[in-house]
Structure 1
Amino acid sequence: MKAYLLFCIIITCMRSAHAQQEMNNWFFGYNAGLNFSSGAPVATPGSLRGWEGCSAMSDRYGNLLFYTDGITVWNRSHLVMANGTNLNGDTLCTQSALITGYPGNDSLFYIFTVAKEAEAKGLQYSLVDMRLNGGLGDVVAAQKNIPLLTPVCEKVTAVKHLNTNDIWVITHKFGSDEFYVYAVNCAGLNTTPQISAAGNIANRITNTIGYLKASPDGNKLAMAGFTSVVEVFDFNAATGVVTNPRIIAGNPNNITGPYGVEFSPNSKLLYASESYNNNGSGAYYIFQYKVDTPNIADSRIAIDSGYGNTAGAMQLGPDSNIYIAYDQQPFLGAITHPDSVGRACRHIKQYVNLPAGTISGVGLPAFVAGYNRTLLGKDTIVCEGEQVVARVNLPGTTYLWQDGSTLDSLVMNAPGLYWVEIRHNNCIYRDSVRVIWRTRPVVNLGKDTALCANAFPLLLQSPFPGANYLWQDGSANSSYTINGQGLYWMEASLNGCVARDSISVTTRPVTTFNLGNDTSVCEKEQVIVSVAASFNDYSWSNGTKVNSIIIKDSGLYWCEAVNQAGCAWRDSIHVDIRPLPVFSLGNDSVLCEGAVWLLDVTQAGDQFRWQDGSSQSRYQVNKEGAYYVEVSKARCSASDTVTVTYKLKPRPDLGPDKVMCPGQVLVLEPGLHGIPYTWQNGSDQTSFTVTEPGIYSVSVTNECGTVRDEVVVTKGSCKIAIPNAFTPGKGQNNTFRVLNATGLKIFSLRVFNRWGQLLYQTSDPTRGWDGNLAGVLQPAGSYIYMVSYLDDTSGKSILHKGIITLIR
């Protein structure tokens, strides 16, 4: 049995940390009911019909087990439970019934009942076994209506022991100032009570009426005396001792007064309903009190009041609202923020409607206060990296944690499931708690730094998704722009987790420089950009590492120079290299006489200057010379020069018409060299020998065209004879002279070599050439002669040209 009991306890407690829904089903009043399984109250009808006290029990998952008005017990099917009648409560009793669990056993439950108005039945208990009757439960006959104490007030409440498993059942003995406190643990109900004398003596029947409640934290009790006062006590959840009574409200008329009481979820506030029936007025109030203040009565605040349909019981629900029963109403009121002081607690009179056709009385179901308290508390969510200390401070207890430690506390410094097993009052309990880590924002503003003065503004940021931010100046953006040195910090919070970082920023000096204004220059001009030589390092946009560069191309050029403090300064300059006008006057050229050449540079620019100062874009060349032009475009200039020479057409000259004597031979030569000839007979020789009179012509051609000349040779008087050869130095015929020339007037004889050099001339018809030139013998060959004289007959000047052969 002992092993079985331990097994059950362990399983129950480990589950209880995850499912605490024993209060999910309420049945009260006249067939009224509520279900809280969805988190909000949903109306559901029941079988109970009673004006005041009642109680209900659900399993840890919120499934209804049974409920009672202190007289009858109904199972989950809303049918009377086997042996579930004739309990000794009363429907006209404030707290007619209270159901508690049986620590360590999910199948056994106690029903405590009290009689109305201090009647003899007093406080009794009955045991319910849910294993019986096919799981619908049965009131155990041998343990039904078992007396505990008589007489008692209409008050019974329960609260969890400090060990969060055992239960204290508390009542007040009528005619005394004594509280009787019974322990329920793994061994069941201990019928020997802890008795504490505290507060007023309940010696009037009307004093028995009104609720007794324990605070959720198990440290306080509140008790209403209907025609008396509300009293507040300290309660020791470890020993069950009641102490330190404080009276917080009085009823001067002693007719009606305090009835319902309930603590806020945080156990710091107390709510009480009071009725005032002076002269049949039927007035009621709901007051709020701060129970931790030295004079509780001074903190009273009315949060509701009215006439008729008096406010009765108040009960803390599983949704943390405090619900209020208004007599004979088809709804319940609620205080929706009961931990808030004053009107901020938000009282709503008609908060939830009851099932159709049902109404409330003045009572609401009674439950074990602090039912959801556990040894280790609820699953805990902490910020990543934080640790939680789980402490179980129970005198006379031994401990065993999941890591084998046996102290009364454990440091939980990592996420996971933790459990402890305690042995207390011969019972073994186990509880577990899960520690969940919330993501903590990561904040990193970087190391403290010394920034160059030109590094500002600087953006500080350490974004973390979903976080809220707070900077040293109260701003709340995810980033912060700093403009100078100082200490800056940021705090990031996410789901209650806070991280903070700071950065100290100081400044270093910056040395500035200026590359000058943006500029525009002409192509081939030199642009030198430089920076002072006092810097430690230079970096130009073109990769140069010295303090100056020569710019030859258009573009944006920058230099970043670092001073001795390690601070960089950068400046830039845009240089526009304007292209020079592109044109050419062409190559030096040779033109034929009469040709005209138009030099045109219109497309090259917009301003022009020629060698003669003219400014037109075109220039006509019609004579030899050097021609120069300077062209400007976009303030850039270029020039070119061309030399032009003229070549004449060939001018052959066969001389004047000629007269020849019979037998005479004339040689015609045009007088030009190095160009081709075409004679009248098609000959292309450089000379033509005439042996008879006639018309003779020659055509001479060069690049500039063809020119023709002709000569007429006629038969003359033939007074002279001209030999065609001579032999100097041979004794005979050694002189070339004109025969029969004696007496000729205006006579001339000239002899030329083949290059046109004059070798001999005479005007004496009797003289001739001896083949020498200045005493030098001339070589054998052909020589040209020219003989002219005046013809006496015709009066014309006669010219004879021909070739004489010198023979050696």
Structure 2
Amino acid sequence: MKKLIGFIFFCSFSLLYAQGEANTWYFGEKAGLDFNTGDPVAISDGKLNTREGCSSFSDAQGNLLFYSDGSTVWNKNHNPMPNGTFLKGDASSSQSAMIIPKPNSTTEYYLFTVGARVSGGEYGFYYYTIDMNANGGLGDVTIGPVDLNEGRAGEWSEKVAAINGEECETFWVISYVSNQFKAYKVTENGVAVTPVTSTVNYFAEDRRGYLKISPDGKKIAIAHMSDRRFILYDFNNATGVVSNQQILDLIAPGNAPYGAEFSGNGEKLYVTASNDFYSEDPAEFNNPNNQFSTLYQFDITKQSTTAINNSRVVLDSQNLYRGALQLGPDQKIYRAMSSSYSTGLPFLSVIENPENDGLNCNYKNNVINLGSNKSTQGLPPFIASIFYLIEITNEVSDEVITNQTIKLCTGNNYTFKSEILPGSPVYNWKFKDSIISNSTTITLTNIEKQNAGLYQLEVDLVDECGKSILYQGKFEVEVYDPPVAPENIIYDQCDIDANSLDGITLFNLETKIPEITNNNSNLEVTFYDSEISFNNNNPILSASEYISATNPNLIFKITDKRTDCFNIGTMELNAYPTSLDTYNTLYICENDLGIGTESSIGSGEGTFDFEAKRDEINTLFSNYNIVVEFYENSQDAQLQVNKITGTNNYSNTEIYVRISNKDNNNCISAGKFNLVVNQIPEPNSVDEIVILCIGNIEDTPRPYSVALDGNTYVQGDKYQWYLNKQPLTVDATNPIYFAKEAGFYEVEVLRDFENDSNNMEDNSTCIGFSNFVVITSNIPVIYPENIIITDDSNNNTITINNNELGIGDYEYTLNDFYGEYQDEPYFENVPAGIHTIYVRDKNGCGFSQLEVSVLGFPKFFTPNNDGINDTWRIPGANSNFYPSSNIYIFDRFGKFITSLNPNNIGWDGTLNGKYLPSTDYWYSVELKDQQGNTRIKKGHFSLIRR
């Protein structure tokens, strides 16, 4: 982030000398850090014990003055100050306190407190005045609380941040309520009664989470935890106005933001976000396995919200409770560590290089050991300006390198410059603690490995406000040798395009990269078509399809991707006219897609073995160290893209061959050959099972057969039939085979091709097939003894014994041949009488029929000539089924009335031509069937006249 900072702005830092004010931290469960020796050292003399909010302040030399959790103020001896207890802040507030020195005073400080409604506490924003001259120099809270709530204490958030103002001797102290930023200006006259209010387009429901300002005073970030909103704004440290809302996206489950911090140069923004898990069950709530936290980085130098969101990098995700982030005097960012709400960890984690992109920021987990004390959720916030870094720039790239590690290349010259400060600053550039320059710049000429190390810049300045300020910056240098550019790179290309004699053809420059880099994957190569293009940094963009005439000299740049060090070389291009050699045609049988189905199905393609073809061509160049490559067209062959290897499927086509020098990939020769796919035979086939009808099962011999048609109708095809995988010998070489038994039949058809015998091996004969499944069936054979009849009953039935009918698959109907057939050989509720049973083969081998008699003895008859029951007779009884019969009728007194012929229409209810009365009559029946079986039946029936 390039900063143009005027004289007035630098007056804003007049209140600070060095960075000692932030050198002592107290936080968590009596934990602390001392930065006065450079690296943080754990200290354990503090009395502060807090879940979240804390603050501390030292003098410019790093000597502790006092610290607070917002409700108590402890002096440097760790005793509460007079009037320093029961303040309006709360240890459960995210940022319970912020300490600001009173401008133009060496003894007075303001303590701003933010409350939280926990354990009887209350929300609200207040400040107190602390006089360090009082109480023997240990300090006393002399004024406060001063109410800053504007009557809205119940709405106030748990957030507070501070920054130097643009004017000399001023600070801005900022807090947040509902959807408004409140910026209070602090001057030598005190704290402004009326804040600058900035209303923004987001109404926060949740009060928790940190508020941070970038050290340069340009940006402000706010975390609304349970709202799951992390928002970036612009801040104007001249007016106190907040503007330009940009919502930054976080990823579930770690998307409830809490801690936030900017890098020292203001270019990177970090946030910790949790899953905000809560349970009424304390055991569940405090179970670390239920808590989850993620650490994110955003690059806020990007020019749009979308670009900033796209720069998001997840640095760490683990089972962890929410925690604060705080920039330290060493320009590292520290992370509070707590496994659950009630369980702190004896460590802090650290981002070693916050200015670096992504994972290069070097996040380290649990590396700051706090000894017997523990971190919890909070870390002490400070005036952000304390951590401001002077800007050091690489003059060539205009890249800000403050706090960066940069990689330089031996033999080159580099110039680094400080941002220009107003007044009469004194510049001290140091290398290995020795001053090497007092200019605004340093230049490293013909750099060597011994120039590697730490470079520091210190600028002493007395600003317009009369204050002495020390600005600092640093960067680390690593020095590397550039890669070696090989000499005599020559690219010979075979000109096999449409005009093979013009000396102009395609070159794939990328194919020379392995030779240039010696297959070192850490090196990359860029090509330029002239020195002018190289100087103007206009590389060849289509290096894989470069068109060139003979003998141009290209420039290539070989760069080590690890260091960005590079070297340059030249490459000669030669295009040689080439007549294509013709190689033997490669033949193959068409692939059969029908394997596993009923018959062959040609795919139109064959599977060609290009490795065997490669070996064949290699033998023609046995005296050369070559590489043989295959391509589908001449352009691919020139560019060496889309190589054909192994076995591949192709239809009839032409293949191009490139012969290259194995050592340098230069083209030696080119040729082509044809691929020919020989069509496999496709015999005729059927999808369904073939039925062989064998007549009656007693037929011997069985003179039946069914034709299996496997004809291809291609002259010259040869046939061989198989039954159950065994070759047949009789009439088995014809296209049609007459099957006489059931089984699995296959016809195999061979087709010969007149191909080049040198290349065919076994591919001159192609084979196809068809399968036929034959099953036998027959016409049913019905005998009377196969029929079981139950008659003279309430449910007359006919049952056919289908086990005796034959080997077919049969179906049945009664009386109506064209009626509906059924699978069951059983009929019920059959009326008495003569019936015809029809049985037919479902496979189409025919049908049989049989008449059967179902006897019935009517209970009455009505001789009224209406055509219904006009006579009494025995249905089902006739001379065909019962050649001998005696049927007699008597009156109720046993008097003989008449005898009946079963073939006649029956008794009409008269005797000697006279009507007999309606009453009951008796019958006596004796029936003898064709097998001599006698059936006797006696009973009575009613004559009804109506």
- TM-score bracket relative to the smaller structure: 0.3 to 0.5
Give the number of the structure whose residues are more often strand, by fraction: 1
Q: Which of the two has higher C-alpha Rg? A: 1
- So what's the TM-score if we normalise by structure 1? 0.45
